[in-house]
Amino acid sequence: MTELDTILLHVDATLDASLERLFDFIRIPSVSTEPQYAHDCRRAAEWLATEMTELGLDASVRNTAGHPMVVGHGTAMPGPHVLFYGHYDVQPVDPLNLWTHPPFEPKLVPQPDGETHILGRGASDDKGQLLTFIEACRAWKSVTGTLPIQISMLFEGEEEAGSPSLAPFLDAHGDELRADMMLVCDTDMWDHDTPAITTMWRGFVSEEFEITCGDRDLHSGMFGSAARNAAQVMGTIIGKLRSDDGAVSIPGFYDGITELPEAMRAQWAALPFDAEKFLADVGLTAPAGETGRSVLEQVWARPTCEINGVWSGYTGDGFKTVIPARASAKLSFRLVAGQDPDRIRALFRAYVESLLPPDCSVTFKAYAAAAAQAMPLDGTLLGKARQALTDEWERPAALAGTGGSIPILGAFKQRLGMDSLLVGFARFDNRIHSPNEKYDLSSFHKGIRSWVRILAAFSETTP
């Protein structure tokens, strides 16, 4: 029996203990965007520091202007030096009434198909995911007494809030954090049984804007038609952000974008992807993006403009006949290579201002922004990781894109010159950011085994 076989058997034998640690982690309500949970965010950071210390890392909780960072460094070893990144903060749980169980009381729920779901906020995003790596390191340390390569870890507590403290932290501690490669476990499998390495991800711009018409809400009988209605103006502007063919209507929005290479389009076409089922699984039947683009192109390789929230006027119980003086909306853009986030923000604002009728004004509030990123496909570590995943899951690992954005990867690339290897074990039905978030027990178990294999493959590599 090889050393690798022994470590994998140890993972299998100690799964219950690994699962109990995940439950302890989920029980900490580390919601980063709500101030009342600040103490719990620090508790989560301290919990991670303790776990990292048990692995032999020199770990500490570092204060920032927001929630703390957790940093740990292993001893120098032959082979590449990797920095594993994850986040311990989670999304708010609202609406609480839609949860079938308390979100911070994790439990196992067997499914008719034989799968078991780990239910709880953060089970998938990102506590279960990041713990697959920690537990893989624990298995290596338990069996061999050491880690196979030099490993550093960085965990933040503001990813769900746009990572406002990350860039200053990288600027202050870049030399300490720089490594040959950053590893991230915050992405999806290709399908239920096929692992994936995410090689491209979209950029991001988020905005809030408020339209004001008149100096107060007005009686709809006394002022109806004669007075501007802010909600109606907002609806008109929102309706003009996208055209009937699904394209974004903002002038200049597509400038600088290049077409997807034919070789990449062919590779995606060969993937086992059912576009109809993809939409049917969320209760839809027809793609709403750009006409003539495949669903994979729409969600991986084309930019978007999506409304995330709108509010105005009276929304309480009963009825109140008012003409709203103010209307607000939040929206986000997903960007692709060739689009500058600052330019897209400026184009959007100029377009909204051009659509304002008389007696109306607009104010804007900027949130997060990040450029699109892609990983070179010919890297040695990418090839090693892909083969390790293929060995564990017994089917070729897919090289995939993602419709999501991971702004921190741009920060690491720009400030530290580090590429990122994204290997995740979430499934599309994990309901992240939604009520009843779950992580499949098989994802957790085989995720740990996968990282054990990846670390073994990396230990045989010269950086």
- Which DSSP letter does residue 242 get? B
Q: What is the mean pLDDT of residues 336-346?
A: 94
Helix (H) or strand (E) holding 150: strand 150-156
pLDDT (0 to 100) of residue 201: 85
Q: What is the mean pLDDT of residues 123-146?
A: 98
Which of 249-253, 294-298, 459-463 is modeled with the greatest confidence? 249-253
d(CA 417, CA 411): 9
Per-residue confidence band for 463, with pLDDT thresholds at 50, 70 and 90: low
Kindly list the strands in the beta sheet with 116-119, ordered across the sheet, starting from the edge strand earlier in the chain.
Answer: 107-110, 116-119, 438-440
Q: What share of the chain is helix, strand, coil (3-state, %, to 5)?
A: 35, 25, 40
pLDDT at residue 281 tops 80: yes
Each residue of 306-334: pLDDT tens digit?
999 999 999 999 999 999 999 999 999 99
pTM of the model: 0.79
d(CA 424, CA 402): 11
d(CA 200, CA 419): 11
d(CA 99, CA 119): 10
Identify the CA nearest to 21 among candidates 137, 131, 130: 131
pLDDT (0 to 100) of residue 400: 86
Each residue of 186-218: pLDDT tens digit?
999 999 999 999 988 898 899 999 999 999 988
pLDDT (0 to 100) of residue 145: 97
Domain 208-257+303-370: CATH architecture, name and number where available: 2-Layer Sandwich (3.30)
Domain with CATH 3.40.630.10 in the chain: 3-201+374-459
Cα angle 335, 185, 341 (rounded to 5 degrees) comes to 15
Burial class of residue 226 (count of CB atoms within 10 Å of its CB; 0-12, 13-18, 19+): exposed
pLDDT at residue 177 tops 60: yes
Percent of the chain with pLDDT over 90: 83
Each residue of 9-41: pLDDT tens digit?
999 999 999 999 999 999 999 999 999 999 999
d(CA 336, CA 349): 19
pLDDT (0 to 100) of residue 3: 97
Per-residue confidence band for 162, with pLDDT thresholds at 50, 70 and 90: confident
Percent of the chain with pLDDT over 70: 100
Burial class of residue 102 (count of CB atoms within 10 Å of its CB; 0-12, 13-18, 19+): middle
Other C-beta atoms closer than 10 Å to the C-beta of 286 total 6
Identify the CA nearest to 204 among candidates 351, 56, 373, 68: 373
Each residue of 70-124: pLDDT tens digit?
999 999 998 999 999 999 999 999 999 999 999 999 999 999 999 999 999 999 9
Identify the CA nearest to 55 among candidates 129, 125, 143: 143
- Which DSSP letter does residue 419 get? -
Each residue of 361-418: pLDDT tens digit?
999 999 988 888 877 777 899 999 999 999 999 998 988 888 877 777 888 888 999 9
Single-letter amino acid, residue 38? A
pLDDT (0 to 100) of residue 402: 81
d(CA 355, CA 349): 10
Mean pLDDT score across all residues of the chain: 94
**3-201+374-459: CATH class:** alpha beta
Domain with CATH 3.30.70.360 in the chain: 208-257+303-370
Determine how β-strand 398-402 pairs with β-strand 196-201. Answer: parallel
